[in-house]
Amino acid sequence: MEEQGGGAKIVLAILGVLLLLVITPIILFMGGGDSEESDPNAPCVIDGTPIGKGNDGESTVKIPEQYREAVEKSADTAGLPVGIIAAQIQQESGWNPKAVSPVGARGIAQFMPETWEEWGNGKDPFDPFAGLDAQGRYMKHLAGQIADLASNEKEKIQFTLAAYNAGAGNVQKYGGIPPFEETRHYVEIIMGNA
């Protein structure tokens, strides 16, 4: 979640690519609606533009059925499209609730221990439903911290994702997505997969 050193960046990038290539085809499909009345198979749309469609025109995000309701609730809490939260979880852990990163991030949403301490409500960081709940609340908090920087909905989403990866202070410092390769790649991958 904070910027990492060079070796860790390479390992994380390789793991991210492997997760996308191996896990994406086997995960169930869920598009980006953000209300019960929306079409769950519709692509995520930001400012009228569909995002995250693969070469076949289908969304590249697949939500495992057991997490569908929790992801929808997380997105609703965060005020973000379902496709964004789903793509973020896919990028963070590949839907593995027992994931542990080389830098110590844990669980389905990959919270660092000190961040989980604040947002986990005393629950187990490896409980996927607690992780998805914390994800929604934390993303809402981050969105509030960067809201004055964004001039449209797409920027709000991009800056919130950047704040999750590099910290809200860095997004504020640079007036948008920080010039960190890892953070730029993180935002690009999630926006592309949403």
The one-letter code for the residue type at 137 is R
In a domain? residue 183:
yes
Local structure of residue 43 (DSSP, 8 states)? P
Q: What is d(CA 3, CA 138) in angstroms, rounded to the nearest whole number?
A: 18
pLDDT tens-digit map of 88-144: 999 999 999 999 999 999 999 999 999 999 999 999 999 999 999 999 999 999 999
- Which distant-in-sequence residues (6+ apart) come within 8 Å of 66 by Cβ? none
What pLDDT does residue 114 have? 96
Q: Which of 153, 186, 188, 154 has its CA nearest to residue 167?
A: 186
pLDDT tens-digit map of 74-86: 999 999 999 999 9
In a domain? residue 69:
yes
Question: Mean per-residue pLDDT for 8-13?
Answer: 54
In a domain? residue 1:
no
What pLDDT does residue 194 have? 84
Q: Which of 44, 57, 56 has its CA nearest to residue 161?
A: 44
Question: Mean per-residue pLDDT for 38-66?
Answer: 52
Question: Mean per-residue pLDDT for 149-164?
Answer: 97
Using the structure block, give the residue that is written with the tokens 């995250």: 52
pTM metric for this prediction: 0.70
For the chain, percent of residues with pLDDT exceeding 70: 69
- Which distant-in-sequence residues (6+ apart) come within 8 Å of 111 by Cβ? 1, 105, 119, 120, 125, 131, 134, 138
Question: Mean per-residue pLDDT for 13-40?
Answer: 38
The residues carrying an active-site annotation are 92
Using the structure block, give the residue that is written with the tokens 């990163």: 101
Which CATH number covers residue 159? Answer: 1.10.530.10
In a domain? residue 116:
yes
In a domain? residue 79:
yes
Q: What is d(CA 96, CA 109) in angstroms, rounded to the nearest whole number?
A: 9
- In this structure, how many other beta carbons lie within 10 angstroms of the beta carbon of residue 29? 14
- Provide the number of structural domains found in the chain: 1
Q: What is d(CA 166, CA 32) in angstroms, rounded to the nearest whole number?
A: 25
What pLDDT does residue 146 have? 95
- Count CA atoms within 13 Å of residue 77 on its CB side: 17
Containing domain of residue 83, as a range?
Answer: 6-193
Q: How confident is the model at residue 61 (pLDDT cuts 50, 70, 90)?
A: confident
Q: What is d(CA 170, CA 166) in angstroms, rounded to the nearest whole number?
A: 6
Evaluate if residue 35 carries a pLDDT over 90.
no
Look at residue 106 and give its three-state secondary structure: strand
